[in-house]
Amino acid sequence: MERPTLAGRTLKFAVLTAIVLAVLYPFGLAVGTSLTGREESIANGGSYVLLPSHPSLDAYRLVLSGGQVTRAVLISIGITVTGTALSLLCTVFLGYALSRRGMLGGKPILLMVLATFLFTPGMIPTYLTVKELGLLDTYQALIVPVLLNAFNVVVVRSFFQSLPDELFEAARMDGCSEWRMMWRIAIPLSKAVIAVVGLFYAVSYWNTFFNAILYINDPTKHPIQVVLRQYIFRGSGQAGADVAIVRDLPAASVQMAVLIIALVPILLAYPFLQKYFTKGVLTGAIKG
Is 150 contained in some domain?
Answer: yes
41 vs 49: CA distance, rounded Å:
8
Is 135 contained in some domain?
Answer: yes
Q: Which helix (DSSP H) or strand (DSSP E) does residue 279 occupy?
A: helix 251-286
User: Which of 30, 25, 33, 31 lies closest to 250 in space, CA to CA?
Assistant: 33
Residue, of 255 and 43, whose pLDDT is higher: 255
| Number of residues in the chain | 288
Angle between helices 68-99 and 106-118 (to 10 degrees): 130
Is 51 contained in some domain?
Answer: no
**What pLDDT is stored for residue 20 in this prediction?**
92
Q: What is the pTM of this model?
A: 0.81
CATH number at residue 164: 1.10.3720.10
**What pLDDT is stored for residue 46 in this prediction?**
65
Is 188 contained in some domain?
Answer: yes
Is 20 contained in some domain?
Answer: no
pLDDT digits (tens, 9 = 90+) for 139-177: 999 999 999 999 999 989 988 988 888 888 888 888 888
189 vs 205: CA distance, rounded Å:
26
pLDDT digits (tens, 9 = 90+) for 17-72: 999 999 899 889 888 888 887 777 777 766 778 888 888 888 888 888 767 888 89
Other Cβ atoms less than 10 A from the Cβ of 111: the count is 9
pLDDT digits (tens, 9 = 90+) for 191-229: 888 888 898 899 899 999 999 999 999 888 999 999 888
Is 55 contained in some domain?
Answer: no
Is 6 contained in some domain?
Answer: no
**What pLDDT is stored for residue 6 in this prediction?**
82
Is 1 contained in some domain?
Answer: no
149 vs 87: CA distance, rounded Å:
8
Domain of residue 225: give its range.
Answer: 63-286
Instruction: Give the chain's domain count.
Output: 1
Coil, strand or helix: which one is 79? helix
**What pLDDT is stored for residue 222 in this prediction?**
92
